[in-house]
Structures are given as structure tokens and as C-alpha cells.
């Protein structure tokens, strides 16, 4: 097919009005801007009401919009301290001291959209455009999985005919192809999550079939007037509802783990938190499954992108902490992702308050892992934390956290509704705890520096002791697997 012809077919196959219309209620989507704003105008809530919401969240029940809005209106420092403590407690109850790590892999930086805040917008001449070939993808993965030791990736695509569904399928297969020898075992990516443009249902089915983990699409801003202002009309991304209902389509297509997010700094952070809560509640209502993960990136400076230099709605560090606390309380079962957009100090501050996943050794230039140094001219924005995975794992160990490289969940069907029930009841934690230990053992033996290994061993031994005490029945079988890993076997999981 000629390039122009392919472009035309591709355009026509993008936005399918019938695939979103069926989810509208009385012709309207589930974000009622005026009603959300009105909730945010209500005054400071009574302490008893706040404490009732905290108790509900502690029981791992989602908060409704009124409850979430009330938490956002709290001014009293003592009540905030109680909320922070509860957020940390809930994180611990659902996810224990585990942190999952991953790395982003930018497959392409070509994009037909014009998001004013993004370095990859099509008008930005300062960016050198590139689309990785399958061989180049394999070369990137050899570094990520073979040298650094990552087991999970989030692969990222711009929206463009050169990075269409066929390209996505080809490059995801290329990632799963790679298996490279490591110090003792081997390096391999076992879970590929995807961050890409909203796809139609039939394409999402194909994505599901190739074996993706989480499918992420961030709404950027739930506030419609702001959405229109930063995503020009006539671009694909200019269609708010097409994007808003992506996760409905993904769940319908059988992708059970979906990731929602908002880009903080475009509009009032309180509104965006309510937008995310409304999105989670709507997915629970309409499809019975809430989001697997929630992301809350803050806008970062980007090459030749003046919009980001004078943000009216820039979110301060203290307010950003509140974003994390309220999200943790309102959507207590969901994974929460903090990325290298945040500096090390901020990540240390946010992780204990409810975050469950973080990236490391990240490079967001296309082809950046092979080129080693950062490429300002190929990046979407600039990173604030450039520490290696080894350094991050060591830092987490010093905080008492175990880095989990577990990817068992989707490979043994613990996704979607099933995982939500398990998380709410606390049962998922048992599998996760065992798998975190097994995969951490693997990683320490295969990839850790001597210093990081020394920092990780006490954490590992403490976890093993907890399994012995808290899961005496499972302990002997678990230890058999642990010994097999120590002897060099790999990829064992419960």
C-alpha cells in the first residue's frame, strides 16, 4: 500500500463514534464539570465526616465524589496528618512494603497531534524524529533486560501512521523475543505495559492477544475547557470523549488491567483528583473493574515548549503530596505510579504515602538506552531522577522496601475483577509477597552491585521470616522454590 493511501485508511480507522456513544448516559459523558466545581466550592468538612471517610478507605472501599471532595477541602493540619497516616497504612495493608519497578521504552516520537505541553507535538521542529525498527527494539531490550535487569517495560508510542497497530504488535513481539544471559540466569522482559493513543475496540483486542499487561491512556485534564485549549480542535487528541472512553473499550476488548492518569499542572489539581475518582467509579459501575493503576505525572519542561514555562496551575510539592494522599484514600485498591519526572527527594517523600510502582534507569529518548547519554533533541520532556535501577533498589532497601520484579499476575489470570477482589480482601498480598521474594532473589543474584546486594539481603531475610511466621502452611513449598532460584533456576512463581 502506498504511504498516502495507508495514511488515509489509517485516519478513517481512528475514531469510531458508535464505540463511545453506547456508554454515554442521556447523551452525556460521566464528567459533569459544573457539578465537580460545585463540590469543590463546599467549605471545610466536619472532622467526623473526614474520619468516617478515612475509616471507609481503611476498609478498602472506594470513596464517592462527595467524600473525595470533602477530603480535598480539609485545611486542618492535624486532619491532614491523620489522612497521611491512613494513606500509608492502606498502602501497607494492600501492597505491604513492595515496590514494583519498570522502565519506559519510547518506540517512536512521531506524532500527528499538537498537545501544547508536549515536546513531541508535530509542529516542534526542535525534535529529531525517529521510529525504532524491530532490530533496534531488540537492541534496546538487550540493555534493559540483559544489563540493567528490568522485567517490566512501559512501551510508549506517538500517534502516527508510522506507529500504527501493526507497528505496535511487531515491536511488542520484538520485546518478548529477547532473552540474554545474565551473571547467573538470564534477562528477559516478562510484562510489557503500553502507553499509546486511544485505540478502537477491534485494535485493542489484537493488543490483548499479543500479551500486553496494563494499557495506559491518561486523560491529561478532565476539565473540558482546558482540554480544548491544550488539544487543538481537528487533531485526534482534540476528541475528549474518544479518549475518556478508551478504558471502557479496553476492558470490553479483554484487556483487564487498565491505567488512568491526569497530567498535573494543566488545571486545578483538586479538580483533576475528582476527575480521576469519577473515572474509577465509572469503570467500576459500567464494567465492574476499576483501574489497575493511577498515574499523576506533573508537567515538566520540554525542549522548545514555552507553554510549560509559565503555568498558572503548577502544583507545589505540598499540594502534590495531597494529590497522592487523597487518591490513595479514594481508590484504595489501585496501584499508584510515581515516575522519574519527580526528583529523588520527592520520590522518597511520596512512595510511603501510597505509591506502588516507580521507574528507574529511565531514558525517554528514542533509542536512548543504546546511546547511553540523554538526548534532549529526541525527548518528550526532561527527567528529574536519572539514577540507575541498582541505585534505586538500594535506596528502597534503605527505606525498608522490597523491590518486586514479579510479573505473575497477568500470566496466571490474576487481573481485572479477580485482582480487585483479591486486593480488597488482602489475599493477593500473599501471592505477591512470595513472588516478590523469589524475583528479588533472582535480581540480586543476576544484576545487583555488591553494595546493593548487601543492602538487599537483610530486607530479603526479614521477608522470608515473615512468610515463615505468617504463612506456615505455604512456607515449605515456598522454600523449595526459593532454593531452586538460589541454585540458578529462573522465573518460578505462585
User: For residue 254, with 0-12 CB atoms within 10 Å meaning exposed, 13-18 middle and 19 or more buried, which class applies?
Assistant: middle
- Pull the grid cell for residue 349: 517523600
User: Which DSSP string corresponds to 55-118?
Assistant: HHHHTT----HHHHHHHHT---HHHHHHHHHHHHHHHHHHHTTEEEEEEEEE-B---S---TT-
Residue from 158, 332, 335, 416 that binds ligand SAM (CB under 6 A)? Answer: 158
CB of 263 to ligand SAM, least distance (A): 4
From residue 35, alpha-carbon distances to 31, 107, 429 in Å are 9, 39, 37
Cα angle 104, 110, 115; round to 5: 85
Out of 84, 91, 150, 237, the only residue in the binding site for ligand SF4 (CB under 6 A) is 237
Which of 143, 144, 194, 217 binds ligand SAM (CB under 6 A)? It is: 217
- Choosing among ligand SF4, ligand SAM, none, which partner's interface includes residue 337 (Cβ < 5 to 8 Å by kind)? none
Q: Please select the residue that binds ligand SAM; options are 30, 95, 102, 117, rule is CB under 6 A.
A: 117
Between helix 65-72 and helix 269-287 the angle, nearest 10°, is: 160
Contact residue for ligand SF4 among 20, 31, 74, 111 (CB under 6 A):
111
Q: Which does 121 bind (CB under 5 to 8 A by kind): ligand SAM, ligand SF4, none?
A: ligand SF4
Do 436 and 468 meet the contact criterion of CB atoms below 8 Å apart?
no
DSSP label of 197: S
Q: 463, 437 in Cβ contact below 8 A?
A: yes
- Binding site partner of 297, from ligand SAM, ligand SF4, none, Cβ cut-off 5-8 A by kind: ligand SAM
Q: Does 196 bind ligand SAM (CB under 6 A)?
A: yes
CA distance 35 to 96: 36
- Please, which residues have CB within 8 angstroms of residue 9's CB and are 6 or more apart in sequence? 1
The answer to the question of residue 113 lying near ligand SF4 (CB under 6 A) is: yes
Q: Is 156 in the site for ligand SAM (CB under 6 A)?
A: yes
Q: Where are the beta strands (DSSP E) in 107-236?
A: 152-156, 179-181, 186-188, 191-195, 212-216
Q: Between 68 and 110, whose beta carbon lies closer to ligand SF4?
A: 110
Q: CA 359, CA 459: separation in Å to the nearest integer?
A: 20
Instruction: Considering only residues 134 through 163, tell me which ones interact with ligand SF4, judged by CB under 6 A.
Output: 158-159
Distance CA 189, CA 171 (A): 13
Name the segment binding ligand SAM (CB under 6 A); options: 216-224, 225-233, 250-258, 394-402.
216-224
300 binds ligand SF4 (CB under 6 A): no
Instruction: Decide: helix, strand or coil at residue 250.
Output: helix
Find the binding residues for ligand SAM in span 358-387 (CB under 6 A).
Answer: 380-381
Under the criterion CB under 6 A, does residue 302 sit at the interface with ligand SAM?
yes
Give the sign of the dihedral formed by CA 231, CA 233, CA 236, CA 238. Answer: positive
Which range touches ligand SF4 (CB under 6 A), out of 32-40, 87-95, 111-119, 209-217? 111-119
Q: Which neighbouring-strand residues pair with 101? A: 358
- Taking CB under 6 A as the criterion, the residue among 120, 255, 262, 401 binding ligand SF4 is 120
Q: By CB under 6 A, is residue 218 in contact with ligand SAM?
A: yes
Q: State which of residues 115, 145, 302, 459 lies at the interface with ligand SF4 (CB under 6 A).
A: 115
Tell me if residue 25 falls in helix, strand or coil.
Answer: strand
Stretch that binds ligand SF4, among 61-69, 116-124, 240-248, 358-366 (CB under 6 A): 116-124
The span of 39-47, 112-120, 475-483, 486-494 binding ligand SF4 (CB under 6 A) equals: 112-120
Ramachandran category for residue 361: left, alpha or beta (phi over 0 → left; psi -120 to 50 → alpha): left
Count of residues interacting with ligand SF4 (CB under 6 A): 9
8 A C-beta contact, residue 410 and residue 213: yes
Determine, following the binding rule CB under 6 A, whether residue 121 of this chain makes contact with ligand SF4: yes
Binding mask 422-461 for ligand SF4 (x = CB under 6 A): ----------------------------------------
- From the list 20-28, 35-43, 191-199, 244-252, the region that binds ligand SAM by CB under 6 A is 191-199
Residues contributing to the site for ligand SAM (CB under 6 A): 111, 117-118, 156, 158-159, 195-197, 217-218, 220, 263, 297, 299-300, 302, 308, 341, 380-381
Residues contributing to the site for ligand SF4 (CB under 6 A): 111, 113, 115, 118, 120-121, 158-159, 237
Amino acid at each position: 500500500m502506498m504511504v498516502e493511501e495507508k495514511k488515509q485508511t489509517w485516519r478513517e480507522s481512528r475514531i469510531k463514534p458508535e464505540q463511545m456513544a453506547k456508554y454515554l448516559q442521556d447523551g452525556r459523558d460521566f464528567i459533569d464539570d459544573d457539578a465537580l466545581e460545585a463540590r469543590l466550592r463546599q467549605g471545610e468538612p466536619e472532622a467526623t465526616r473526614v474520619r468516617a471517610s478515612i475509616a471507609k478507605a481503611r476498609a478498602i472501599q472506594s470513596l464517592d465524589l462527595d467524600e473525595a471532595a470533602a477530603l480535598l477541602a480539609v485545611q486542618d493540619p492535624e486532619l491532614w496528618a491523620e489522612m497521611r497516616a491512613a494513606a500509608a497504612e492502606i498502602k501497607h495493608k494492600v501492597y505491604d512494603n513492595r515496590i514494583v519497578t519498570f522502565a519506559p521504552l519510547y518506540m517512536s516520537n512521531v506524532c500527528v497531534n499538537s498537545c501544547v505541553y508536549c515536546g513531541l507535538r508535530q509542529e516542534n521542529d526542535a525534535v529529531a524524529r525517529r521510529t525504532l525498527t524491530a532490530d533496534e527494539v531488540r537492541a534496546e531490550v538487550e540493555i534493559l533486560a540483559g544489563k540493567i535487569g528490568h522485567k517490566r517495560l512501559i512501551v510508549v508510542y506517538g500517534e502516527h501512521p508510522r506507529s500504527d497497530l501493526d507497528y505496535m504488535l511487531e515491536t511488542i513481539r520484538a520485546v518478548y523475543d529477547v532473552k540474554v544471559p545474565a551473571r547467573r540466569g538470564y534477562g528477559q522482559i516478562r510484562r510489557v505495559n503500553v502507553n499509546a493513543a486511544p485505540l478502537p475496540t477491534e485494535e485493542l483486542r489484537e493488543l490483548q492477544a499479543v500479551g500486553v499487561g496494563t494499557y495506559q491512556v491518561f486523560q491529561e485534564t478532565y476539565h473540558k475547557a482546558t482540554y480544548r485549549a491544550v488539544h487543538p480542535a481537528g487533531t485526534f487528541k482534540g476528541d475528549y470523549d474518544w479518549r475518556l472512553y478508551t478504558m471502557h473499550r479496553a476492558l470490553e476488548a479483554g484487556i483487564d488491567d487498565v491505567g488512568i492518569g491526569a497530567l498535573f499542572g494543566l488545571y486545578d489539581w483538586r479538580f483533576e483528583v475528582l476527575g480521576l475518582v469519577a473515572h474509577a467509579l465509572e469503570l467500576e459501575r459500567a464494567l465492574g473493574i476499576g483501574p489497575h493503576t493511577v498515574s499523576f505525572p506533573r508537567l515538566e519542561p520540554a525542549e522548545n515548549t514555552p507553554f510549560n514555562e509559565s503555568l498558572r496551575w503548577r502544583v507545589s510539592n505540598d499540594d502534590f503530596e495531597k494529590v497522592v494522599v487523597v487518591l490513595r484514600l479514594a481508590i484504595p485498591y489501585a496501584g499508584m505510579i510515581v515516575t522519574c519526572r519527580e526528583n529523588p527527594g520527592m520520590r522518597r517523600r511520596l512512595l510511603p504515602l501510597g505509591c506502588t510502582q516507580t521507574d528507574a534507569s529511565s531514558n525517554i529518548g528514542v533509542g536512548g538506552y543504546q546511546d547511553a547519554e540523554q538526548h534532549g533533541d529526541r525527548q518528550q520532556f526532561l527527567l528529574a531522577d536519572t539514577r540507575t535501577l541498582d541505585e534505586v533498589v538500594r535506596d528502597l532497601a534503605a527505606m525498608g522496601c522490597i523491590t518486586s520484579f514479579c510479573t505473575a499476575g497477568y500470566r496466571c489470570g490474576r487481573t481485572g475483577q479477580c485482582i480487585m477482589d483479591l486486593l480488597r480482601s488482602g489475599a493477593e498480598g500473599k501471592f505477591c509477597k512470595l513472588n516478590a521474594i523469589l524475583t528479588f532473589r533472582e535480581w540480586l543474584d543476576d544484576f545487583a552491585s555488591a553494595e546493593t546486594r548487601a543492602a538487599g539481603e537483610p530486607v530479603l531475610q526479614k521477608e522470608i521470616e515473615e512468610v515463615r511466621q505468617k504463612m506456615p502452611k505455604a512456607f515449605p513449598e515456598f522454600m523449595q522454590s526459593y532454593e531452586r532460584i538460589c541454585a540458578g533456576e529462573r522465573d518460578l512463581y505462585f
